[in-house]
Chains A and B, each alone.
Chain A
Amino acid sequence: MSIDFLEPTDFSEAMALLSEYGDDAKVIAGGTSVVLMLQQKLIAPNVLVSLGRIEGWDYVRLEPDGLHIGALTHLRDAERSPVLRQFCPALAYTFSVVGNVRVRNQATLGGNLSAADYAADPPAMLTVLGARARLLGPGGTREVPLSEFFLGFYTTALEPEEILTEVIIPVLPETARAAYFKYTSLSAEGRPCVAIGALADFDSDGKCKDLRIAVGAAVETPQRVESAEALAYGQTLTGELVAAISEEYARTLDTLSDVRGSAWYRKEMIRVFVKRALEEVRDGHR
């Protein structure tokens, strides 16, 4: 194949190339998404703009405003980062269940999010943690909350010449509890049938101060159901309340059908795993 493989050494060079080649170019980082699309001949760019030589953007740093993860961080490094594990063990776990270790050694966080594969793991968890994406474009940098970043199947808020450079996760309250559930219905290394990210905070009486649950993989983009989350505020998470919240999620969300499960099955699994996620954050096993 005569595709030109260009290797800029910094982001502005990369953006200049994207601007020059327009539709003929495709950004590639680890390649775990892009190469599959190339092999399946779903895309046919003339130019690949590789971010592989850009240095200084693979990091995990705790700053006063939260955890900053460089977009070129490999998922395997994120998974193993002591800083990240300290900050949010459930997030480290989320990265650890993506594909398999060979995939994680190649895949980058920026690439994973930019691909916007509905059946991916990080999006649901990062959405529930209130993460923001930093996008660099010809006009400068802007931040987009992840809840507004995923627009549809394989579609994000990235403008044609923008590149995702960093993900910022706001500081979590000391008492916050997080959990991630990846349910695979076929192979254990497969993509999820249902993905649930949960974040909860309780006061000293065990009453819920904050609850966020995002569902992924069963829906087009990660979804929270705020009316269901609101049921928890100021309440103890009794078995009944847990059932009511999970029922509300199952009832509200418009699920999709694919080889990993029908729309009906996904609703059932949303009910089961929202329940399990609530039990997990309530009982704090992690």
Chain B
Amino acid sequence: MQIKDSFVINASQEKVWELLFDIPRLSKCVPGIESVEVVDEKTYRGKLVVKVGPIKSQFSGVVTLTEVEPPQHIAGSVEGDDKASASSVKAGFSGTLTSVAAGTEAAFVVDLNLRGRLAQFGGPVISATAKKMTAEFAKNLRAELEH
């Protein structure tokens, strides 16, 4: 399924780009991130916890960047699994930063493939969860940048 979202941060495009590649600061902003490790300049390994009501899953996975065009475009893929729920996630993503009057607009598209038991959740729950995580991520980014 496809997830599309965007948000605006009151900060310059360069500053936002810089933060996206500042792994220690960035990982504080991503909701549910439990660890992140830089393997090389295009590859990151990490653990992400996602909660939907009583259902908690912990995904261990790898993010691979395929396109990096500073300071406006980034694309790549994510592959991870949660052994406890026999589920895995595969996603391709693409994100763009644009300067706007109010600061910087960050827009992204994710092609998400959720497999295993968690896939029973279905579209509405997955997209709502993605929306919540995006909103929280945006909020955290703003807190980091807008002061």
Contact = CB atoms under 8 A, between A and B. Distances in A.
Interface in A25-58: 26, 37, 40-44
A43 B122 contact: no
**Is the interface on chain A under 10, 10 to 19, 20 to 34, or 35 or more residues?**
10 to 19
27 contacts: A23-B56, A37-B54, A37-B55, A40-B120, A41-B86, A41-B117, A42-B55, A42-B117, A42-B118, A42-B120, A44-B84, A116-B53, A118-B124, A152-B128, A153-B52, A153-B124, A153-B125, A154-B54, A155-B52, A220-B124, A220-B128, A256-B124, A256-B128, A257-B124, A258-B122, A258-B123, A259-B122
Contact of B85 (A42, A153, A154, A259): A42
A153 B54 contact: no
B35 interface: no
Contacts of B2: none
Contacts of A41: 85-86, 117
B116 to A, nearest CB: 10
B129 A153 contact: yes
B123 A257 contact: yes
Interface residues of B, number: 18
Contacts of A155: 52-53
Contacts of B124: 118, 153, 220, 256-258
A154 B54 CA distance: 7
Nearest to A45: B54
Nearest to A219: B124
Interface string A141-153: 0000000000011
Contacts of A259: 122
Interface string B127-145: 0110010000000000000
A259 B124 CA distance: 10
A256 B128 CA distance: 10
In the complex, which of the residues A26, A258, A259 has the most CB atoms of chain B within 10 Å of its own CB atom? A258
Contacts of A152: 53, 128, 132
Contacts of A42: 55, 85, 117-118, 120
Nearest to B127: A256
Interface in B81-110: 84-86
